[in-house]
Amino acid sequence: MKKSSKYTHLLNREQAADYLGIDPKSFDKYFRSHDTLKRFMIGKRERFTRSALMDFISKNLV
């Protein structure tokens, strides 16, 4: 993960993938496809919080 000061509280798909250090297509496949990942809709646009991403990772570690 990258320094959190670079990112706003709500991240779009590309920012969330960059924050996690993965490709946006991998983010789609391994993160967005799960209903347990909390997200916000602003109009038709999906947004993710950094804390929701970290919670999802900690709950889904193998």
- Walking along the chain (62 residues) 10 residues at a time, the average pLDDT comes out as 72 96 97 94 95 95 84
Integer Cα distance of 23 and 44 in angstroms: 22
- What pLDDT is recorded for position 7? 78
Which tokens is 57 given? 């990772």
- What pLDDT is recorded for position 1? 59
User: For the chain, how many helices (H) and strands (E)?
Assistant: 3, 3
- pTM: predicted TM-score of the whole model, two decimal places: 0.83
Going 6 to 11 to 12 to 17, the CA torsion angle's sign is: positive
Provide the residue range defining the domain that includes 11: 4-59
Which tokens is 52 given? 């929701």
- What pLDDT is recorded for position 62? 80
16: phi then psi, degrees, rounded to nearest 5: -65, -45
Q: What is the CATH number of the domain that holds 35?
A: 1.10.10
Integer Cα distance of 43 and 59 in angstroms: 28
Number of domains in the chain: 1
